[in-house]
């Protein structure tokens, strides 16, 4: 059995777009949690810098995550203008060691 895929995605909101980005991301969370293979999909906000929003995700497999990345929820998120709301973005795929 393959270990679930862990994903950490970190976005820094563009200046003045924090609330708008957070709202778009919260809609994405609600839609994504219903997708096949989604075990965990949470949005967190940095206590040190409120512009930083962090997704912590667990997927049954890489294939499920890739389907999510091509799916309707992500497409709607992108169509919402999310690219203009984000100043910086990093994504890390990982496997749990313990």
| Cβ(27)–Cβ(77) below 8 Å | yes
pLDDT in tens, 21-49: 999 999 999 999 999 999 999 999 999 99
In the predicted model, is pLDDT for residue 96 greater than 90?
Answer: no
| Cβ(33)–Cβ(89) below 8 Å | no
Q: Give the predicted TM-score (pTM) of the model.
A: 0.91
In the predicted model, is pLDDT for residue 1 greater than 80?
Answer: no
CATH topology of domain 5-95: Alpha-Beta Plaits (3.30.70)
Give the domain ranges of the chain: 5-95
Instruction: Collect all residues with Cβ–Cβ distance below 8 Å to 1 and sequence separation of at least 6.
Output: none
pLDDT in tens, 39-81: 999 999 999 999 999 999 999 999 999 999 999 999 999 999 9
Q: Find where tokens 């059995």 sit.
A: 1
């Amino acid at each position: 059995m393959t270990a679930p895929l862990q994903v950490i995605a970190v976005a820094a909101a563009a200046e003045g777009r924090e609330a708008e980005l957070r709202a778009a991301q919260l809609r994405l969370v609600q839609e994504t949690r219903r997708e096949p293979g989604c075990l965990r999909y949470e949005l967190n906000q940095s206590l040190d810098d409120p512009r930083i929003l962090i997704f912590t995700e667990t997927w049954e497999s890489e294939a499920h995550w890739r389907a999510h990345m091509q799916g309707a929820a992500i497409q709607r998120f992108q169509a919402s203008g999310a690219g203009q709301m984000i100043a910086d973005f990093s994504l890390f795929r990982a496997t749990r060691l313990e």
